[in-house]
Structure 1
Amino acid sequence: MPRVVVLLVRLGLAVGSGLLLTAAFEPVALPWVLPFAVAGYFLSVRGARPRVGFLVGLAFGVAFYFTHIVWMKDSVGPDAWAGLAGVEALFYGVLGALLPALTRLPLWPLWASAAWTAMEFTRSTWPCSGMPWGRLAYAVADTPVAPSLAYVGATGVTFGLALLGALLTWLLVAPRGRHLLGVAGIAVVLGGIAAAAVRPWQADETGHLRVAAVQGDVPGPGNDILYDHHQVTRNHADATLDLAAQVRAGTQERPDLVVWPENSTATDPFRDGADNAAITGAVQAVGVPVLVGAMVDGDETHVLNQGIVWDPVTGAGERYTKRHPVPFGEYIPFRGLIDGWNFGRLAIIGRDMVAGTGKEPLTVAGARIADAICFDVAYDDVLDQQVSRGAQLVTVQTSNATFIFTHQVEQQFAITRLRAIETGRYVVVASTNGLTGVIAPDGSVVAKAEPRTRSVLDEQVGLVNALTPAVRIGPWLGRGAAAVTLVGLVLAALGGRRRRRVVATPRHDAPDAPDQEMSLT
C-alpha cells in the first residue's frame, strides 16, 4: 500500500479516535467509548516512524482537545482556546512519536499504558502548572469504574483504562496463538474494577457538620461577574440574611458553617467598605463562620484569589489561596515579553493572580476542612495534600459564571464528584450561579441547586478521618509511570542498537556464503 495512503488511513483513524474520546465526556457523556478511543490511538501510531507518529498523534490531540474544551472559544476567547488546545495537543503528538519504540518491547501494552499515564501526568502539571482537563479518569463518575478511584486515584484509573485500550489493540494485531494473553489481561483489569465495585472503600464518620452552600446568582447576562460585582456580593449577603431569618423563626436549623463561592466579592473586602459591611452584616446575622470567596489585593500588579473564614465575632481569620491560577485566564505567563500586544479578552487581565502555597486545611466550627477554588479541583495535589494533613470535609468555591452557558460547568462538577470518591470525603460546592451541590463520598449527589437561581442548600454532612489508599499513594503512581516509560525507552533504544549491529555484521556461519543485503524490516 502506498505510503501516502497508509498515512491518510493513520490520520483518519487518529482523528476519528480523538473525536470518539471527546464523546466520553460531557455533554455527550458516553464513558464506555474510552478504551476504544485509546485503542484507536494506539493502532494509528503503531509501527510508524517517529515523525509520522508525532504527526498522527498530533492529529488525535487536535481532534480531541479542540473539541473537548470548545467552551473556551466563546467564554474566554478564540485566542486562548486555540493556544491552550494547541499546547495540549502537542503532548499527544510527542507520545505518538515515542509509542512505536515502546510497542516493539515484550508485553508492550504495559509499556504503552504507562506512557499514556505519564503523558497525562506531565501535561497536568506542566507547563505553567499544566491543564488536567480531559484525563481518562475524569469521565467515569457514573460507571462501575468509579469506586476504583478510592483505591488507585485518578492516575491509577487512567492507567487501567489505557491498558484496556492497549489490550484491545493487542487482540487486533497479535500473532495467532497469542490472543489468549490479551484476553487474560483484559480479564485481570475487569476483575480489579469489579472487586472495587463490589467492595467500595468506606470509613466510619467521626462527626457531623451542618453546612449551608449559598448560590447568590449573577445579575445581568449571568456570564459576567463584573457586570455588577457589588450586587453579586449583596445577593450572597441577602441569601444568608434570609437563612438567618429562617433560623430565628425556627423554620430552619442553624448551620455550623456557611460557604460562599469564589468571586462572591470581586473586590478586596478589606478595602471596599460596602462589600465589607455586607459580609460582616450577613455573618453576624447568621451567627456562624462564613467561608467567603474574595479577590484580595496583593500589590499594584498582583491579586490573590482567597477563601476567607469570616467569624461573626473575630472577623476575617484563616485563609486558603488558590493554588493553580489559570494561565491566560487569571495571569499572563511571560507578561514582560508580550505586554502591549493585542490579545483580545486577555487585555482585561490587568494584574496577575498569585498562586497560593498552603497545604494545611482550614479549621472551622471545630472541623478540619480542605478547600479548593474552581479549577483547583482538577489538580491532584490540592485536595490530597490537605486531606493527608487531617482534612475531614472538602469545600469547593467556584464562580463558573464565565462558563455558565457552556458544558464546562458539567465537566467540572463531574471532576468534583470524582474527588469525593478519591478522598472519601463529603464535598460541598458553592458556585455563584451554578453548579452548587453537596456530594457524598461515593460520588452521589445529595443536593443540587438549579443554575442561574438564588438558592441555599442546607445539608448535614459527615466528617471522615480515615485516608483512602489513593490519598496515601499521592503522586507516586504518576511518577512511577514516568519512570517506567523512561526505562522502556532506554530498553527500546538498546534493542534498536542491537538490531542495527546484527544487520551490519556479515554472516560467516554458512560456508562459501556471499555477503547478503539485510533489511531492518
Structure 2
Amino acid sequence: MTTVDRDQTHADAEQPRPAAGPRPLPLRVAAPLAVAAGLALLVAFPPYGVWPAAPVGVALLAAAAHRRRLRAGAGLGFLAGVALFAPLLAWTNLHTGYLPWVLLSLLQAGYLALLGAATAWVSPLADRARWRWAPLTGLLWVGQEALRDRTPFGGFPWGRLAFSQGDSPLLRLAALGGAPLVTFAVAVAGGLLVTAGWRRWNGDGWRSPRRWRPVAALAAGAVLVCASGLLVPVGRAGGGATATVAIVQGNVPRLGLDFNAQRQAVLNNHVDATLDLAARVAAGAQPRPDLVVWPENASDIDPLRNPTAGARISQAADTIGAPILVGAVLAGPEAGQVRNAGILWRPGTGPDMAQLYTKRHPVPFAEYVPLRDLARMVSKQVDRVRADFVPGSTPGVVRAGPVVLGDVICFEVAYDEVVRDTVTGGAQLLVVQTNNATFNVAEARQQLAMVRLRAVEHGRPALMASTVGVSGFVAPDGRVSDATGFNTREVVVRQVHLADGRTLATRVGLWPEVLLAGLAVAALVAAAVLRRRERVVPG
C-alpha cells in the first residue's frame, strides 16, 4: 500500500458514518405514552386540578406522534383523546345512559386524532430546527381547539387546555389574549419539555454529558413560560363603585333528568331561601343586597304566563326589596318552542321585559335536537327534549339598577364570543346562571374554572349561581370566594367592586386565535412543501 493509499484510508476512517434515518419512538413505547398523555391532561382539570400535568400531557402526545405516519399519529392522538375525554365527561352518563357519553367522548377524541396526525405531519419542520418544536406544538393545539370549539352544531369547548389552569400563573395571560393565548402558552411549555426530553433513537443515547446542557436550558424555558403569567397585571377593578350581590342556591328535591318534575318545589325553594335572606336583612344580620341572582331553571314554570309562579317571584322581590335575576323557562315565539332566559324581576313592578336575556347558544341534543329522526335511531333519550329551545339574538347585557350585568347561561361560559359580547356591551359584573342538577360536582367545578378564566380575561368580577352548586364569587384575578357545597341549599352575600375598563384581551377579541390558528395552517402547508422537496431530491 502506497503512502497515498494509507492517507486516503485514514481520511475515510475519520469521516462520520451516515446517521440512520429519523425514526419515531417504538410503537410499544408510543402507545402507552399516548394513553399517559390523556391521563396527564385529565388530572390537570377539576376536580383534580394538578395544572402542571397539562404541559406534561402535551409533551407526551407530541413525543408519541413525532415522525409517525399520518394514520399512526391519528391513532395515537385518538388514544390520548379517549383517555382524556371519557373520564372528563363521565358526568354526561349519570342520567342518560352510556351511549350519549360514549358518542360525545369519541367525537371529542376525534379532534385529538386530527392533532396527532398534524403533529406527525409537521415532524420534518421540527427535525430541521429543533427550536421550532415548541411553537409548532402551541400552534397546533390552538388550531385544534379553534376547530373543536365550533364544529359540529356550534362545537363543544369542554377540555380546552386554558380551562385547566385555574391555579396556574398562566391564567393571567388570559388578560392579554384570552383562552387561546393561555392554551398556546401551556402547549409551548409542553413543546419545550418534549424538546428537552427527546433522544435520537439511532443508538446514540445520552453518552455525552454535553447533551444535558440543552436539556437543562429547555426545561428551564418551560418553567419560565409557566411563570411568565406572573408578569401580567390582573385584578384591577374599575372606578371604585361597589354593589352588594346575593346568590341564592335553592337546591332541588332530587338530582337527575327529572329534577324539574317538581317544578313548583324548585321555584318554592328559591323563593323561600330569598324570604329567609330578607328576614336576616330585617334583623340586621345581613346587608340588604342591591341585586339577587337566581340560577338557571329556578322557575321552569313560565312566570309570565302562570300567575301563581309570577306571584311567588314578586313576593320574593318585594320582601327582599331588590331586583332578582330569575333563571326561567319561557314560552317560545311559536308553539312547541321554549326559551332559556334570565329575566330581571323588580320589586313593586314585577318583570322588566326590557331586561330579558334569552340564551344565545342552546346545547344540541340537550336543549334542542338537530336531525331528530336520525338522533332517535341512536338513542330514544332525545325525546326527553319535547320542545326545542330557540336561541336569542342579543348579548346578555342586563341593566339592574346600580350594576350592569353580563349574563350568560350554563355552557355559554365556555364560548369566548358569548362572554366578550356582554363586556363590550357595558357589563360591569359577569353572571353565569347554571343548573347542575343533572350532573355532578366534578362538572360544576369544571364550569367554575371557566368562570375564573373569564374574570381574568375581561378584568371583571364574576359569579356563578347554580341550582345545586357549586355557586360562588370570582375576583378579577381569578380567586374564588364563598364557594358553596354541592346538593345543598345556601345563600351567599358579598360586596363586589364593579369594573368598567377593558383588558387587552377584550379589545383584541378573536384576533389572537385567528393569528395563531392561521399560523398553524401555515405550518401544515410549510410541512407539505418540505415533504415534497425531500421526495424529489435525488440520492
Normalising by structure 1, report the TM-score. Answer: 0.90
The reply on whether 1:447 has 2:482 as its aligned counterpart is yes
Letter in 2 for 1:322: K
More displaced 10-residue stretch of structure 1: 205-214 or 102-111: 102-111
- Quick one: structure 1 residues 181 and 381, their matched pair in 2 at CA, closer, same or farther if it must change by over 3 Å? farther
| Contact kept? 2:74, 2:114, Cα under 8 Å | yes
The reply on whether 1:201 has 2:234 as its aligned counterpart is yes
Cα shift at 1:184: 5.4
- Which of 109, 116, 120 does residue 134 from structure 2 map onto? 109
Aligned length in residues: 501
| Post-superposition CA distance 1:69-99 (Å, at most 9, x none) | 1111224431211111111110011111122
After superposition, residues 31-180 of structure 1 pair within 5 angstroms as 31-105=51-125, 106=129, 107-173=132-198
Aligned to 1:403, what secondary structure does the other structure show? Answer: coil
Letter in 1 for 2:145: E
The reply on whether 1:397 has 2:433 as its aligned counterpart is yes
Aligned to 1:369, what secondary structure does the other structure show? Answer: strand
The reply on whether 1:355 has 2:391 as its aligned counterpart is yes
Cα shift at 1:464: 0.6
Cα shift at 1:172: 2.7
| Post-superposition CA distance 1:134-168 (Å, at most 9, x none) | 11111111223222222232211111111111111
Letter in 2 for 1:228: Q
| Post-superposition CA distance 1:381-402 (Å, at most 9, x none) | 1211211222111111111011
- Which of 284, 295, 304 does residue 270 from structure 1 map onto? 304
| Contact kept? 2:459, 2:503, Cα under 8 Å | yes
Letter in 2 for 1:352: D
| Contact kept? 2:65, 2:119, Cα under 8 Å | yes
- Quick one: structure 1 residues 308 and 448, their matched pair in 2 at CA, closer, same or farther if it must change by over 3 Å? same
Corresponding residue of 1:420: 455
- Which of 452, 456, 464 does residue 491 from structure 2 map onto? 456
Cα shift at 1:237: 0.8
Distance 1:330 1:141 in 2: 28
| Contact kept? 1:102, 1:108, Cα under 8 Å | no
Distance 1:294 1:360 in 2: 14
| Contact kept? 2:174, 2:505, Cα under 8 Å | yes
Corresponding residue of 1:331: 368
| Contact kept? 2:362, 2:391, Cα under 8 Å | yes
Aligned to 1:309, what secondary structure does the other structure show? Answer: strand
Letter in 2 for 1:479: V
Distance 1:417 1:5 in 2: 38
- Which of 470, 473, 490 does residue 505 from structure 2 map onto? 470
Aligned to 2:184, what secondary structure does the other structure show? Answer: helix
The reply on whether 1:10 has 2:35 as its aligned counterpart is no
| Post-superposition CA distance 1:333-376 (Å, at most 9, x none) | 2224445x361432211112222232252111132210111111
Distance 2:100 2:515 in 1: 32
Cα shift at 1:7: 3.1
- Quick one: structure 1 residues 185 and 114, their matched pair in 2 at CA, closer, same or farther if it must change by over 3 Å? farther
Distance 2:67 2:399 in 1: 55
Cα shift at 1:439: 1.5
Letter in 2 for 1:23: V
Cα shift at 1:252: 2.6
Letter in 2 for 1:6: P
Corresponding residue of 1:513: none
Distance 2:211 2:523 in 1: 22
Distance 1:104 1:186 in 2: 22
Cα shift at 1:180: 6.3
Corresponding residue of 1:501: 536
The reply on whether 1:291 has 2:325 as its aligned counterpart is yes
Aligned to 1:205, what secondary structure does the other structure show? Answer: coil
The reply on whether 1:214 has 2:234 as its aligned counterpart is no
Q: Give unpaired runs (5+ residues) of structure 1.
A: 504-517
| Contact kept? 2:170, 2:228, Cα under 8 Å | no
| Contact kept? 1:438, 1:445, Cα under 8 Å | yes
Corresponding residue of 1:242: 276
| Contact kept? 1:224, 1:401, Cα under 8 Å | no
- Quick one: structure 1 residues 27 and 203, their matched pair in 2 at CA, closer, same or farther if it must change by over 3 Å? closer
The reply on whether 1:322 has 2:356 as its aligned counterpart is no
- Quick one: structure 1 residues 180 and 334, their matched pair in 2 at CA, closer, same or farther if it must change by over 3 Å? farther
Aligned to 1:394, what secondary structure does the other structure show? Answer: strand
| Contact kept? 1:399, 1:431, Cα under 8 Å | yes
- Quick one: structure 1 residues 4 and 376, their matched pair in 2 at CA, closer, same or farther if it must change by over 3 Å? closer
More displaced 10-residue stretch of structure 1: 19-28 or 43-52: 19-28
Distance 1:156 1:498 in 2: 33
Corresponding residue of 1:514: none
| Contact kept? 2:66, 2:119, Cα under 8 Å | yes
Aligned to 1:355, what secondary structure does the other structure show? Answer: coil
Letter in 1 for 2:227: A
Cα shift at 1:258: 0.6
Cα shift at 1:4: 13
Aligned to 1:254, what secondary structure does the other structure show? Answer: coil
| Post-superposition CA distance 1:261-316 (Å, at most 9, x none) | 00001122112222111112111222221100001111333211101011123322
Cα shift at 1:178: 8.3
The reply on whether 1:346 has 2:379 as its aligned counterpart is no
Distance 1:193 1:37 in 2: 15
Q: Give unpaired runs (5+ residues) of structure 2.
A: 1-19, 201-207
| Contact kept? 1:361, 1:371, Cα under 8 Å | yes
Q: What RMSD over aligned residues (CA atoms) do the two structures have, in Å?
A: 2.4
- Quick one: structure 1 residues 56 and 245, their matched pair in 2 at CA, closer, same or farther if it must change by over 3 Å? same
Cα shift at 1:470: 2.0
| Contact kept? 1:103, 1:111, Cα under 8 Å | no
- Quick one: structure 1 residues 450 and 109, their matched pair in 2 at CA, closer, same or farther if it must change by over 3 Å? closer
Letter in 1 for 2:490: S
- Which of 508, 517, 528 does residue 482 from structure 1 map onto? 517
Aligned to 2:32, what secondary structure does the other structure show? Answer: helix
Corresponding residue of 2:420: 384
Distance 1:114 1:386 in 2: 28
| Contact kept? 1:141, 1:414, Cα under 8 Å | yes
Distance 1:29 1:394 in 2: 23
- Quick one: structure 1 residues 351 and 476, their matched pair in 2 at CA, closer, same or farther if it must change by over 3 Å? same
Distance 1:129 1:493 in 2: 30
Aligned to 1:104, what secondary structure does the other structure show? Answer: helix
Distance 1:108 1:451 in 2: 43
Letter in 1 for 2:234: W
| Contact kept? 2:423, 2:458, Cα under 8 Å | yes
Distance 1:380 1:429 in 2: 17
| Post-superposition CA distance 1:220-245 (Å, at most 9, x none) | 35774213110110111111122223
Aligned to 1:464, what secondary structure does the other structure show? Answer: coil
Aligned to 2:124, what secondary structure does the other structure show? Answer: coil
Higher CA-based Rg: 2
Letter in 1 for 2:280: Q
| Contact kept? 1:225, 1:263, Cα under 8 Å | no
Identity %: 39
Letter in 1 for 2:432: V
